[in-house]
Amino acid sequence: MPTMNMLQAINNALDIAMAEDEKVICFGEDVGFFGGVFRATSHLQEKYGRARCFNTPLVEQGIIGFANGLAAQGSVPVAEIQFADYIFPAFDQIVNETAKYRYRSGDLFNVGGLTIRAPYGGGISGGHYHSQSPEAYFAHTPGLKIVVPRNPYQAKGLLLSAIRDPDPVLFFEPKRLYRASTGEVPEEDYQLPIGEAEVIREGTDITVLGWGAQMEVIERAVELAEKEGISCEVIDLRSILPWDEDTVAESVLKTGRLVITHEAPLTGGFAGEIAATIQERCFLYLESPIARVTGLDTPFPLTLEKEYLPDHLKIFEAIKASVAF
């Protein structure tokens, strides 16, 4: 089995999808001959031609509006937004159009073929506009699916699922891990399920939940906790919308404790939704308050990035506090 980094896995998934179905079309800013600023679309234009892999003018609302129309026509667009921070000009197209296309037309028309890829997250000295994690803005929008992979194997399997899914999918890629995360990735076609969380470590004392780049941080925190004799169950949510309530609830019914962590700010972050749902479903089994370890309610800072981020030590402290409650 070949070893790939996350970019190679994404590139490989796009290659497979384009080879399989000529309706799959990749586009965005610098996506064409150059292969994308992170090189996720390398060689795709060479292989499949300019008509199926091309640069667009620099206009995010245009990219997604164009993609909506293309998907409504029956094509399978995979649109790239260069940084998740720049998805907001397309917010109207995504929230008012993409998400509501099938519902508002009574299923006469849909944009189910659409996948929107966007690098997200901090830890790369990206400051305000190359670090954001906007998943919670979109989680408030019925009709969208939101997926975040944590490693190359997941990135490939989940992206292939997203492209073939009958609903529009926002696919947020943890850019800090693009080259940092490597692993064995099957060369052949495979898919991972959307809407299902994955228990990646079983434990009995506490459930620790996150997604994307934060999973690596959770692993480090859990190693510290295990050394202190705390048995942690670790869950990768993988899909933010729809999210796998059952797997999380089942885990918390067993452990009685929950720590949720994400890079995005606390207030209105997706951890709030999870916490509310789990206290509703697991009220009699909770032995301590549900803890949220997140970014601060500030714009994403440059110099004090390390202090801002919900790192392994902050998660470790939250685990200890929860167990000692």
Which one, 109 or 320, has the nearer CB to other proteins? 109
Q: Are 68 and 101 in contact (CB under 8 A)?
A: yes
Q: Cβ of residue 2: shortest distance to other proteins, in angstroms?
A: 32
Binding site for other proteins (CB under 8 A): 23, 25, 51, 54, 56-57, 59, 61-62, 64-75, 77, 89, 92-93, 96-97, 100-110, 112, 142-143, 145, 166-167, 195, 242, 245-246
Minimum Å distance from CB 184 to other proteins?
32
Q: What is the largest CA-CA distance in the chain?
A: 60
Q: Where are the beta strands (DSSP E) in 121-251?
A: 145-147, 169-174, 182-184, 198-201, 206-210, 232-236, 239-241
Considering the complex, state which of residue 108 and residue 324 has its C-beta at the smaller distance from other proteins.
108
Tell me whether residue 60 is one of the annotated catalytic residues. Answer: yes
Q: How far is the CB of 228 from other proteins (least distance, A)?
A: 36
Instruction: List CB contacts of 305: < 8 A, sequence separation 6 or more.
Output: 122, 123, 125, 131
3-state secondary structure of 8: helix
Please confirm, yes or no, whether 140 is among the known catalytic residues: no
Amino acid code (one letter) for 19: A
CB of 125 to other proteins, least distance (A): 31
Q: Which of 130, 173, 219, 312 is catalytic?
A: 130
Distances (CA, A) of 63 to 67, 87, 89, 91, 139: 6, 10, 10, 12, 21
Active site residues: 60, 130
